[in-house]
Structure 1
């Protein structure tokens, strides 16, 4: 049996390996799953919009064959899908905000570069009217810069680092999708003409495509930041 040497009195033996960041893997998995489900619902909304347009087109045709039951069923599906989309969006935001909070904390513990917003704004930035059009992107952008393997842990100037194209794609697709949704709700929803139903179908299809692009970018972004942070040693 080999004797294990003990350090002298008053000397603390330090670990040979430094601790690394611990990303919130659970929040990332929940956020990814809810984002994918919400994207699927957006696709179903687009499908239902085209189905409703075909029903309305039949109503305005010379020899309509659509029944009242078909119209009622289409309206009910539209309502349920709209609520499913709202709930999915809320769950996705909560999970993503929880992940972003942890990612922001870990970024500060692995890199001392100054962020443009404090940790609390990882959540609050989404809730401030008007400012929420760019503040969340700033928070995610700084976390991405601070987490890069090429970013030095000490004395890093995050403002001078190159912005992430992935973050820009994610945020641009996200904002544009919601802008299309707002136009659909406030400008087209009350119009019952055949042309309005066609425009709604086109708008929901565009929104679904943009939502899919934003979802893919967000999932890749979360995975990349988590992987980077798990490999960076803690300095705080």
Structure 2
């Protein structure tokens, strides 16, 4: 039995479920944010057109803006951590499969999220490798299907788009409240940000759903391989 075959695969189901749950929450909060920020944009648009808006209505809008933004920050952070932990565990299992030669160390699946510039495309490369080796190990064509390739490319583009737009949103958030035209543009940028977050959550959920049967088959195939190898070793020792 090879050294890799002796290692049992790590159970990634709890992490995958956590990633699916938090991505669903991320999608829901982004949808709520899009509705609310759309309302905020509409209010500012009315003011710019010369329509009178009561101070109480603007105060409520500003308060709601801060609340939605705060809740979304927490959910997005949890979704990021859950997905990163799932990715790290999945890449650990790639390293435990026989006849694999991953391009990166296990720890790179974690570091790839925090190293500047590398974090733009390295998680995408890690995802590619996971799909490739899991498919090869189970004799599946999943990693070579147009759908899988489109999902990964879409995920990467959205990931980069959100990463680039984030600093723009944070800088525009410091605009003076009396600059209505600038706030109007800011609300529009936030709506774009919400659209990217929603699209990213949908694509991430599709990736995780695609991985469910593949991870199951990898675990089952590897367990059967270990059992066969152990039985073969026991038989050989018995003969000796």
Give the TM-score band, short-chain normalised: 0.7 to 0.9
Alignment of 1:35-184 (within 5 A): 35-64=23-52, 66-149=53-136, 164-184=149-169
1:27 maps to 2:15: yes
Alignment of 1:150-229 (within 5 A): 164-187=149-172, 189-190=174-175, 192=177, 193-229=179-215
Distance 1:120 1:22, change over 3 A: closer
Unaligned runs of 5+ in 2: 1-6, 227-240
Unaligned runs of 5+ in 1: 1-18
Shift of 1:230: 1.9
After superposition, give the CA deviation of every residue in 1:157-210 in whole Å (9 maximum; x if it has no partner). x9xxx9933211112112213323332332465165443333333323322222
CA distance in 1, matches of 2:49, 2:216: 61
CA distance in 1, matches of 2:213, 2:51: 60
Distance 1:63 1:146, change over 3 A: closer
Shift of 1:149: 4.5
Aligned pairs, how many? 212
CA distance in 1, matches of 2:174, 2:38: 14
CA distance in 2, matches of 1:57, 1:144: 46
Distance 1:60 1:93, change over 3 A: closer
- TM value normalised by structure 2: 0.75
User: Does the 8 A contact of 1:171 with 1:214 survive in 2?
Assistant: no
Shift of 1:57: 3.4
User: Does the 8 A contact of 1:169 with 1:217 survive in 2?
Assistant: yes
User: Does the 8 A contact of 2:138 with 2:217 survive in 1?
Assistant: no
Shift of 1:39: 2.1
Shift of 1:52: 2.0
Query: Between Structure 1 and Structure 2, which shows a larger proportion of helix residues?
Result: 2
CA distance in 2, matches of 1:120, 1:106: 12
SS in 1 for 2:100: coil
Shift of 1:79: 0.9
Shift of 1:126: 0.7
